[in-house]
Amino acid sequence: EAQVTQNPRYLITVTGKKLTVTCSQNMNHEYMSWYRQDPGLGLRQIYYSMNVEVTDKGDVPEGYKVSRKEKRNFPLILESPSPNQTSLYFCASSSDRSGKGNTFGSGTRLTVV
């Protein structure tokens, strides 16, 4: 089954404790993105990648890092999480540069206390 798999689904952590949210897709897509979703703000793009070792900032990259060492994986790293990073996070992948056919993961609800 074609899918984007995110882990974990839920995470509660403390301020300053480094964490990684994993994202993996099995569709051989070149394009992948991370979004955060907050009430009243829609989805905001954090980082995106257009291929292995090619990543770039989206609209809200501060406090986040990503890597793309393999085509299928695109982890999101929070080196020192803060409470304002409490949010619902989605990973997405697409075979098309326009984002057509964007497939989203199930989401990760992160709470930073």
Partner 1 sequence: GENVEQHPSTLSVQEGDSAVIKCTYSDSASNYFPWYKQELGKRPQLIIDIRSNVGEKKDQRIAVTLNKTAKHFSLHITETQPEDSAVYFCAATPVTGGFKTIFGAGTRLFVKA
Q: Which residues contact partner 1 by CB under 8 A?
A: 31, 33, 35, 40-45, 48-50, 56, 58-59, 90, 97-102, 104-107
The first and second tokens of residue 75, run together, are: 């982890």
Q: How far is the CB of 75 from partner 1 (least distance, A)?
A: 17
CA–CA separation, 107 vs 86, rounded Å? 13
Which of residues 79 and 96 has its CB atom nearest to partner 1 in the complex? Answer: 96
Q: How far is the CB of 27 from partner 1 (least distance, A)?
A: 14
CA–CA separation, 12 vs 85, rounded Å? 11
Which of residues 34 and 81 has its CB atom nearest to partner 1 in the complex? Answer: 34
* Residue (of 63, 49, 41) closest to 97 by Cα position: 49
Which of residues 19 and 31 has its CB atom nearest to partner 1 in the complex? Answer: 31
Q: Degrees (nearest 5) of the Cα angle 81, 87, 82? A: 20
